[in-house]
Structure 1
Amino acid sequence: MSAITLTGVDLHYPDGTVGLSGIDLDVRDGEFVALVGPSGSGKTTLLRTVAGFLAPTAGLVCLGDEVVADGAHTVPPEKRKLGMVFQQHAIWPHRSVGRNVAYPLEVGKVSRARRAERVAEVLELVGLPGLAKRDPATLSGGQRQRVALARALVAQPRALLLDEALSALDEPLRDRLRLELRTLTRTQNLTVVHVTHDRAEALALADRVVVLDSGQIQQVGTPEELVQRPRSAFVAKFLSDANLLHGTVSDNGFSSADGTVHVGRDRLADTSSGVGTLAVLPTDIAVTTVENVGTTQGIVMSSLFGRDASDVVVSCDGAQFRCAVRGTRPVVGDRVGLTIRRALFYPDPTQVAAPTLGAAALASTSR
Structure 2
Amino acid sequence: MKILVTGAAGFIGFHLSKRLLAESHQVIGLDNLNEYYDVCLKEERIKILEKHPNFTFYKTDLGNLESLKQLFADHSIRIVFNLAAQAGVRYSLKNPHAYVLSNLLGFLNVLEACRDYSVEHLIYASSSSVYGSNTKIPFSPKDSVDHPVSMYAATKKSNELMAHTYSHLYNIPTTGLRFFTVYGPWGRPDMAYYSFTKNIFEEKTIKVFNQGDMSRDFTFIDDIVEGMIRLIDHPPKSNNYWDRNNPDPSSSYAPYQIYNIGNNNPVNLMKFIQILEKLIGKKAKVEFSPMEPGDVKVTYADISSLQKDIGFSPSTPLEIGLGQFIEWYKEYHLKE
Question: In proportion to residue count, which structure has more helix?
Answer: 2
Specify if TM > 0.5.
Answer: no
Q: Which has the higher contact order (CA 8 A, sep 6+)?
A: 2
When the two structures are superposed, what TM-score results if normalisation uses the length of structure 1?
A: 0.27
Larger CA Rg, structure 1 vs 2: 1
Question: In proportion to residue count, which structure has more strand?
Answer: 1
